[in-house]
Amino acid sequence: MSPDEADFVDRMGLWLEMAGGTRTMGRIYGRLMVCDPPHQSLAQLAEALGVSKASVSTVARQLQEVGMIERRPSSERRHEYRITAGGFTRVLQLQAARMQPGIAAAEFGLSAVGADRSVQREHLEELRDFLEFCIRDFGADFVSRWESFRDGRRGNGG
Amino acid sequence: MSPDEADFVDRMGLWLEMAGGTRTMGRIYGRLMVCDPPHQSLAQLAEALGVSKASVSTVARQLQEVGMIERRPSSERRHEYRITAGGFTRVLQLQAARMQPGIAAAEFGLSAVGADRSVQREHLEELRDFLEFCIRDFGADFVSRWESFRDGRRGNGG
DNA sequence: TCGTTCGTTCAGTACGGACTGAACGAACTG
DNA sequence: CAGTTCGTTCAGTCCGTACTGAACGAACGA
């Protein structure tokens, strides 16, 4: 791995760490973005990144569970990890799903504050409505908007 | 504070904790959503939530910095904390701003991988384009979509 | 001026989680 | 069958951070 590639990998690690993930998660994803060939085994990732196989095993499964990377068997025991195309949209949708408990909390609050407290009820209703809107807006609408944006940019020549 | 209100406050705490924040942050915000009157002093919040003034001081400032609550002076020294109407949209926009370093990382990666590696360049370009799209889509477009959704629901008597 | 109350700050603690090393089971090679 | 490699799992460590208690500065009432 060239120094610039290693630098990129570390930047991805710092970025994902700042964005709420872990550094190793970002470094694994960054490595898979730039490695040649674009698929790697778990041991290769651990070797290239200088982290333990245990970390890669754990974190790679997390990345796979959220749909950021995919793992396909090369031999019976060995696996190849690679980037999932368009995995970002899935992450956004998973984030949207996290908002459901907030809706439940807001509705519970509405059952708790009493009909006479209009200001408090408005706060609760606005939270509930906003989260419902987010779930809807981050669903199919978002993906189609993203695809049209991407295709338009590609049509213009990157 | 009624038991149901306290229950709501704790649910908000658990929810924000799950969503990446802290429990106290969610509990303070939940308390401000349902308290009567809808504005409270720092000492009142600490008393009602059973946490130290130090925590409330720190966390309330964080909530204020991201625009979720506002603090206005009641006397010279004393302050009133209250919910900021529509504070959620600001949080989303702050999240969007966090994507900028990812764009920078992707562009750095593009300068590192060489023009012959098309697969890797596509990964990097897709990340860059996706993040740029998110920043754009979470901007004014998102707010206007949310406002029309909210007004439509209010018009229907939700 | 003095005492009280309110909010901030700082050192310390306690808890969670990211990461590691080692042990283990499961497949290829001879 | 024995030896090697690969991936998973688990106990343990280490570090960041959420939270507390106490000390402090700044404003009100007397």
Pick the last residue of a domain from B33, B54, B85. Answer: B85
Cα atoms in the Cβ-side hemisphere of radius 13 Å centred on A7: 13
Nearest chain B Cα distance for residue A76, angstroms: 26
Q: Count the neighbouring beta carbons within 10 Å of the beta carbon of residue A87.
A: 19
CA distance A19 to A12: 10
Residues A41 and A99 occupy one common structural domain: no
Which single residue has its CA nearest the C1' atom of nucleotide C8?
Answer: B57
Q: What is the pTM assigned to this prediction?
A: 0.90
CA distance B68 to B89: 9
The residue-averaged pLDDT of B2-7 equals: 95
Give the CA angle between residues A22, A82, A60 to the nearest 5°.
Answer: 35
Q: How far is the CA of B58 from the C1' of D16 (A)?
A: 17
Q: Count the neighbouring beta carbons within 10 Å of the beta carbon of residue B1.
A: 15
The 3-state secondary structure of A112-146 reads HHCCCCHHHHHHHHHHHHHHHHHHHHHHHHHHHHH
Consecutive H or E run containing A103: helix A100-113
Instruction: Please report the pLDDT score of residue A156 as a whole number.
Output: 66
Residues A55 and A67 occupy one common structural domain: yes
Residues A7 and A80 occupy one common structural domain: yes
Could you report the per-residue pLDDT of A52-81, keeping only the tens digit for each?
Answer: 999 999 999 999 999 999 998 877 778 899
Pick the last residue of a domain from B85, B116, B140. Answer: B85
Residues A108 and A61 occupy one common structural domain: no
Instruction: Please report the pLDDT score of residue A64 as a whole number.
Output: 95
DSSP per residue, chain B = --HHHHHHHHHHHHHHHHTTS-HHHHHHHHHHHH-SSS-B-HHHHHHHHT--HHHHHHHHHHHHHTTSEEEEESSSS-EEEEEPTTHHHHHHHHHHHTTHHHHHHHHHHHHHH-TT-HHHHHHHHHHHHHHHHHHHIIIIIHHHHHHHHHHHHHHTT-
The residue-averaged pLDDT of A106-113 equals: 97
On the question of pLDDT at B76 being above 80, the answer is no
- Is A153 close to B129, i.e. CB distance below 8 A? yes
Domain range for B119 is 88-155
Residues A72 and A135 occupy one common structural domain: no
Place of tokens 């697969």: B119
Place of tokens 């002076």: B73
Structure tokens at A143: 């993906």
Residues B11 and B70 occupy one common structural domain: yes
Instruction: Please report the pLDDT score of residue B158 as a whole number.
Output: 44
The residue-averaged pLDDT of A86-105 equals: 91
User: Length of chain A in residues, anyone?
Assistant: 158
Instruction: Please report the pLDDT score of residue B152 as a whole number.
Output: 86
Q: How far is the CA of B147 from the C1' of D23 (A)?
A: 48
Residues A145 and A122 occupy one common structural domain: yes
Instruction: Please report the pLDDT score of residue B156 as a whole number.
Output: 66
Total domains present in chain B: 2
The minimal CB distance from B123 to the residues A11, A15, A33 is found for: A33
Residues B108 and B58 occupy one common structural domain: no
Instruction: Please report the pLDDT score of residue A158 as a whole number.
Output: 45
Could you report the per-residue pLDDT of B24-67, keeping only the tens digit for each?
Answer: 999 999 999 999 999 999 999 999 999 999 999 999 999 999 99
Residue B108 amino acid letter: F
Residues B25 and B58 occupy one common structural domain: yes
- Closest chain B residue by Cα to residue A16: B102
- Closest chain B residue by Cα to residue A86: B126
Helices (H) and strands (E) in chain A, counts: 8, 2
With beta carbons less than 8 A apart as the criterion, state whether B3 and B38 touch: no
- Chain A hits for B126, CB-CB cut-off 8 Å, are 85-86, 150
CA distance B127 to B135: 12
Could you report the per-residue pLDDT of A125-154, keeping only the tens digit for each?
Answer: 999 999 999 999 988 789 999 999 998 887
Q: A134 CB contacts (<8 Å, ≥6 apart)?
A: A96, A99, B92
Residue B29 amino acid letter: Y
A to B CB pairs, distance under 8 Å:
148
Nearest to B55 by CA among B23, B17, B77: B23
Could you report the per-residue pLDDT of A15-61, keeping only the tens digit for each?
Answer: 999 988 999 999 999 999 999 999 999 999 999 999 999 999 999 99
Pick the last residue of a domain from B85, B100, B115. Answer: B85
Nearest chain B Cα distance for residue A45, angstroms: 16
Residue A31 belongs to a domain with what CATH number? 1.10.10.10
Residue B148 amino acid letter: S
Could you report the per-residue pLDDT of B105-158, keeping only the tens digit for each?
Answer: 999 999 999 999 999 999 999 999 999 999 999 887 899 999 999 988 877 654
Q: A75 CB contacts (<8 Å, ≥6 apart)?
A: none
With beta carbons less than 8 A apart as the criterion, state whether A99 and A135 touch: yes
